[in-house]
Structure 1
């Protein structure tokens, strides 16, 4: 009798759960990409700290040099500013055409400070995959500088 009551209880529980069989239900593709909505990768860009051009790791930055130079255009973020990082790029700084060995910007390159030039050169070289080695020709405002290495 106990066995029969136990079997009836199991049968009632499984039948009355309300889940009905169905076919395969398809949905959207699973999410992909980095967590927390970050797009891109961790990238090295160069800002100024205590008068020296230094590397700063930024997340969510694209792979190409132009993406990294746009980070320079935005300047240090709030946390970096709180840590003493600055930029010597002028407020009118604007990247025009950025390659792996040349960079054209929307300001007269002869009016940039040595640190501002190094910020751009080092950031562009770092994006090229060889670290901060090699040279970049910087132009803008109708002027062109000689090819330069990262002078940090």
Structure 2
């Protein structure tokens, strides 16, 4: 009789477990709740999506499309700070920016860097201006560049 009582107890426990699982966590069913489109693409910003930065090729400031650069202007200016990658250098791309010009504050209409902006070449200034403007969706508009206690008048992307 003990064997059949144990089997009955197992059945009761199994039935209780099924009922507990079937009852859920108290969330009541609802209709379809509309929402926005689900996120797509890789996480962490612009990884895999194109971003335009500006380097120098044959003495001219030109756009270079890169992947793996964040969406905001400061991320793109940091890409300038790192300079052309190996493939870009092999293709003749250079930079006229100092090795470590340290972007400090990059905004929509202004950019502050950690070097005296009056000591930068015209191409170096254009690299920064064009890259910041491209991060905003185009190359129109102007940027006021400052650094090292100096400030340049607002400049457009001239390439």
Q: TM-score range by the shorter chain?
A: 0.7 to 0.9
1:92 and 1:45 map into 2 onto residues whose CA distance is: 17
Which aligned pairs between 1:25-104 and structure 2 lie closer than 5 A? 33-34=41-42, 39=47, 41-104=49-112
CA drift of 1:40 comes to: 5.6
TM-score by structure 2 length? 0.71
Which aligned pairs between 1:110-125 and structure 2 lie closer than 5 A? 110-125=118-133
Please tell me the root mean square deviation across aligned C-alpha atoms, in Å: 1.6
TM-score by structure 1 length? 0.74
- The ranges of structure 1 where at least 4 consecutive aligned residues each deviate by more than 6 angstroms after the TM superposition are none
Instruction: Indicate yes or no: 2:157 matched with 1:139.
Output: no
1:41 counterpart SS class: coil
Structure ranking higher in strand proportion: 1
Query: Tell me, which stretches of 5 or more residues in structure 1 are unaligned?
Result: 1-31
Alignment match, 1:105: 113
Aligned residues: 118
